[in-house]
Amino acid sequence: MAPIVTEEHKENRRKKILESALVCFSEKGFEAATIDDIVALSGISKGSIYNYFKTKDDIYVQLMNEYTHLNFEHFKKSFRDLASVKEKIHYLFDLYKNAGGKEKAKHLLLVHGEFFLSSSRKEENHTLVLERYRNVYKRFLIDLLESGKNTGEISNTVNSDIAASFFWTMIDGICLDHAVLGANYPFSGVFEKAEEVFFQMIQ
């Protein structure tokens, strides 16, 4: 007898749970959000959720991994159409600038931010955050900058390590301030300054 439940169906349910968790964690914070909240939003039963995820923490971790992964997949795909390194960097800025208005992006930011912050208190998550920072976020930028040096678009005197860190610090800082402060924060103005400043720095 063929399996009644296809792999695809299972993956859809898994995704549905993660999506719902994202909204719940964003709205209430990880600790305050309950499994029942996720049940209510996803329409998937509690027992079922525990078939897909071992613990509430597990949902958190998989959620973070999933979206980081999707994020960079998206970056890489979009980069295929962009010729120069500068264009790519402009594209990154644009991406985050445009995300500023989207609801889902705000959810992701808050949850990412909380995960990042709280990771310093949980060995397991901390390892994950560090690993991701080094091998994904920073690596991505460093590779970009180094390739820019090779093409001559970026000055060889630039310290890629510091510039990469600086880039993400600014992006994170701006997005977070925007997510929390909302209209009280001159999002566009600061973002433009940041872009301007960053290009000065690397040329």
Partner DNA sequence: GATGAATGAGGCTTCATTCAT
Partner DNA sequence: AATGAATGAAGCCTCATTCAT
Tokens 């929390």, located at residue: 180
Q: Which amino acid is at 5?
A: V
- In the complex, the smallest distance separating the C-beta of residue 200 from a copy of itself, rounded to whole angstroms, is 7
In contact, 69 and 112? CB cutoff 8 Å: no
| b/e burial code for range 64-84 (CB count within 10 A of at least 16 → b) | beebbeebeeeeeeebeeeee
Distance of alpha carbon 199 from alpha carbon 193, whole angstroms: 10
The listed partner (a copy of itself, DNA, none) that binds 82, CB under 5 to 8 Å by sort, is none
The listed partner (DNA, a copy of itself, none) that binds 57, CB under 5 to 8 Å by sort, is DNA
Q: In this structure, what DSSP letter does residue 167 have?
A: H
The listed partner (a copy of itself, DNA, none) that binds 56, CB under 5 to 8 Å by sort, is DNA
Distance, C-alpha 94 to centroid of its chain: 15
- In the complex, the smallest distance separating the C-beta of residue 62 from DNA, rounded to whole angstroms, is 13
Choosing from 32, 130, 162, 181, the residue that interacts with DNA (CB under 7 A) is: 32
- In the complex, the smallest distance separating the C-beta of residue 79 from a copy of itself, rounded to whole angstroms, is 25
Q: Which stretch binds DNA (CB under 7 A): 53-61, 132-140, 170-178, 189-197?
A: 53-61
3-state secondary structure of 111: helix
Choosing from 21, 33, 64, 174, the residue that interacts with DNA (CB under 7 A) is: 33
Which of 82, 180 has the CB closer to a copy of itself? 180
Verify binding: residue 57, DNA, rule CB under 7 A: yes
Under rule CB under 8 A, which residues in 152-181 are in contact with a copy of itself? 159, 161-163, 165-166, 168-170, 172-174, 176-177, 179-181
In contact, 30 and 114? CB cutoff 8 Å: yes
